[in-house]
Structure 1
Amino acid sequence: MPQETYRTPKLRDISVNERPQERLEAHGPQSLSDTELMAMILRSGSKGRNVLSVASEILQQASSLNGLLKWSDAEFKKIKGVGKVKALQLVTIIEICRRIRDRSPVSEPVLDSPDLVADYLKREAEELEVEKFWTLCLNRKNRIIKKVEITSGTASNSLVHPREVFREAIRHGASAVICAHNHPSGDPAPSAADIKVTRQLREAAKVIGIDLLDHVVVGNNRHDPKGLGYYSFQESGLL
């Protein structure tokens, strides 16, 4: 006897009140789960799989909606039921969401503690697979004037020269700066190179007359033995 192939129920076989489109029309988008929202974008499944099943697999593979920010069309095409056109539509929607998020007008925050610095950079840092170094240019009240990316690369070659850091601070009229960089591994413990460049920055700040308030290494709570998700040179007494 041939082995029976498992098939998920077709969407039309699901109760009308449980179908995403009908729920959307009756109760609005806030009533839909993440899976149902994804299903509304996909519109259709594949042979033997309904659209909710495909949407569920995408979110399971990405871990969350936020995880989709890292996906390319290649990741989407690995999901059975997502072809080239759907994959390109999905990455287009994600890029629109990213641009809306990044361009939303917000009041620039006051960064007067390392946890606030870490929170300010966390969303961007979580999406990175390479190490980046930023200069946060501040006014006299520690409100950020400008965030400037100084370098971008791997963990072994992303060290920064003080000249680059303070050139940007002078250009933007900063009274003080906070330096920050991410560790893609998630462990924010500083390396020997991190400590060396912080000492160089500290000495350069004294000569130039712009305060270096802190150097913060951003990781994540899961991989930080201390559970903070960041390391502060100022808190650790190294500044």
Structure 2
Amino acid sequence: MSIRQWPAAERPREKLLAQGAGALSDAELLAIFLRTGVAGKSAVALARDLITDFGGLRAMLRADLAGFSAARGLGPAKYAQLQAVLELARRHLAEELQRGDALSDPLAAERFLRARLRDLDHEVFAALFLDAQHRVLAFEVLAHGTIDGAAVYPREVVKAALRHHAAALIFAHNHPSGVVEPSAADRALTERLRQALATIDVRVLDHLVIGEGVPASFAARGWL
């Protein structure tokens, strides 16, 4: 039976319009994106199979062009559409941190940083630069690394803070392993950066470690 023959309350699109996107399962949301199924399978059934085959929705969203396009019912056109949707989501989160806006909601920074860093397959160290009123000045990636590390130099971070005329920073880096627990090296680096930035009167407000689940916050743990 095709989705068009389902009761209206069970069709993903109608269900979304009536109850909101949060009421839909991963497969139902993906089915709306797919629009159509394949021979012998509805869009919802195909979506369930794809999520299972990829090992989860997030793994599917992270797939490269070749891996994504090789799956039944997908292809380069769908890959392009999906990347556009993901980029729209990132830009939507970035609008919460528009230049000149006061950072009144710390969770907005967390959502933005998670969206930018969580799904990378290599380690990246980045910072949000803020003025004295904690208004966002800029976001900048300060270092790219391998699967397990990124070289961060305090002198370059100080230069970046001066370039952006920052009064405060929020650091963030990702752990590609998914484990958010900060390492001893993470703590040591943060302390070196804090000391270097203190010489130019720039405060480090937090350092977030991004991975699976809730990011680890140095500030919440009393480490800053």
Q: Which runs of 4+ in 1 moved over 6 A?
A: none
The answer to whether the Cα contact below 8 Å between 2:31 and 2:46 also exists between their aligned partners in 1 is no
CA shift for structure 1 position 182:
1.5
Matched, 1:236 2:221: yes
When normalised by structure 1's length, the TM-score is: 0.71
CA, structure 1 residues 57+196, in 2 after alignment: closer, same or farther (shift >3 Å)? Answer: same
Residue identity opposite 1:34 in structure 2: L
The answer to whether the Cα contact below 8 Å between 2:122 and 2:148 also exists between their aligned partners in 1 is no
Residues 34-183 of structure 1: pairs in structure 2 closer than 5 A:
34-40=29-35, 43-46=36-39, 49=41, 51-60=43-52, 61=54, 63-64=56-57, 67-79=59-71, 81-82=72-73, 86-104=74-92, 106-108=95-97, 110-111=102-103, 117-183=109-175
Q: Distance in 1 between matches of 2:106 and 2:4?
A: 51
When normalised by structure 2's length, the TM-score is: 0.75
Decide which of 2, 17, 23 is 1:30's aligned counterpart.
17
Could you report, residue by residue, the CA deviation over 1:43-92 in whole angstroms, capped at 9, with x for unpaired residues? 3514x54554323212333533x55431223333443x33xxx4101111
CA shift for structure 1 position 117:
4.2
Could you report, residue by residue, the CA deviation over 1:16-37 in whole angstroms, capped at 9, with x for unpaired residues? 3459xx986xx59736832531
Unaligned runs of 5+ in 2: 19-23
Match of 2:5 in 1: 16
Decide which of 196, 204, 207 is 1:204's aligned counterpart.
196
The answer to whether the Cα contact below 8 Å between 1:130 and 1:153 also exists between their aligned partners in 2 is yes
The answer to whether the Cα contact below 8 Å between 2:206 and 2:217 also exists between their aligned partners in 1 is no
**SS of the residue 1:179 aligns to:** strand
- Number of equivalences: 210
CA shift for structure 1 position 103:
3.3
CA shift for structure 1 position 126:
2.5
Percentage of pairs with the same residue: 26
- The structure whose Rg is larger is 1
Q: Distance in 1 between matches of 2:156 and 2:181?
A: 24
